[in-house]
Amino acid sequence: MTTTLFKWTSDNVKNKQILLSKLPDGKLTADCFSVREVPVEAPSEGQILIKTLLLSQDAANRAWMQGATYRGALNHGDVMASYGIGEVLESSHASWNPGDLVMADIGWQEYALVDVREATPAPEHDGPLSHGLSLLGVAGLTAYHGLINVAGIHAGETLLISAAAGSVGSIVGQIGRMKGARVIGVAGGDEKCRWVETELGFDACLNYKSSAQSLRDQLQSAAPAGVDVYFDNTGGDILQAALFSMNLRGRVACCGAVSMYDGKPKPGPFGVPGLLVTKRLKMEGFIVSDYAHLDSDARHELSLWARQGDLKIIEDILDGLDNAPAGLIGLLAGENRGKRMIRVA
């Protein structure tokens, strides 16, 4: 891991912050955010002051604006929340020293005071710092645990993945391919689908935005023998189509529901109880921290696959804190490929 240490002095330093100045009514827009500058404060007992280096951008950021999930809800006036990597500048606790690299819920700001209990060391590895948020961070761990420890995958099975070009889906499909599964992705647009097939090695990718053929018909053509495992990042209409294509005793890993986060979501899917019973499906939701006790196993295998060239790590890094609002809006619109991040410093 490459480390850049800052020569720190607190004299007259301001902290730029991006606030959630109003809760969105419908789709997220740039006017939901505002910028302010405040003095940088010294850490109190049990805190560390960190310089923000990289911020993760995830569809879940939008869900936090709708209410409490696995974390507390965001309210207007809050610093926009985001997980990230930072460098310790000052510490009031013996467990952290200046220059240490940490991961925490930093938020959209240049400097952050973080409770030492809420910070963890950035993963040690030989690659770029950004791999701490992609390969070895929430994206890689979510993909690994969801496919290996929640749904399970076996050679010869058919694996279907929504948001296949995204940070999690792009890794899920590659793991499935290495495990010997036939891998089918779902993405928005013919160009993106071609990229998923050629760049990531999926066996097929279906365009859910196609006006020529419904997703259910595309699935029937691509997987005439049915789907054994569905990795769901979207919910909504794609989940509906996937459930009707599942084989007897199929498994569904529910990772996210991006179709329900932004704008006015449609109700559904319909017919789930009947499908679960008649097909004896297993459908399980999870968050990455459920499997934190297995993170070492996951990081070992992910690192090995990457070193061997079997796993491509696709990163979409935007420079500058000011680009965080547009970056998240674009992510929700599906413009990213791979893991989107903001490089702050």
In this prediction, residue 321 carries a pLDDT of 98
Q: Which distant-in-sequence residues (6+ apart) come within 8 Å of 344 by Cβ?
A: 52, 53, 54, 55, 84, 110, 320, 321
Topology annotation, domain 138-289: Rossmann fold (3.40.50)
Neighbours of 182 (CB within 10 A): 20
In this prediction, residue 11 carries a pLDDT of 66
Tell me, rounded to whole angstroms, the distance of Cα 323 from its chain centroid.
18
pLDDT averaged per 10 residues, the chain (length 345): 49 91 94 97 94 96 87 92 97 92 97 96 92 97 98 98 97 98 97 98 97 95 98 94 96 89 73 90 95 97 97 98 98 95 97
In this prediction, residue 2 carries a pLDDT of 38
Instruction: Note the CATH number of domain 14-134+314-343.
Output: 3.90.180.10
Residue 51: phi and psi, rounded to 5, are -95, 125
In this prediction, residue 269 carries a pLDDT of 82
Q: Around 325, how many Cα atoms within 13 Å sit in the side-chain half-sphere?
A: 18
- Could you tell me the residue ranges of all domains in the chain? 14-134+314-343, 138-289
In this prediction, residue 57 carries a pLDDT of 97
Q: Which of 186, 191, 209, 176 lies closest to 305, judged by CA?
A: 176
Q: In what order do the strands lie in the sheet with 14-20?
A: 33-39, 14-20, 78-79
In this prediction, residue 71 carries a pLDDT of 83
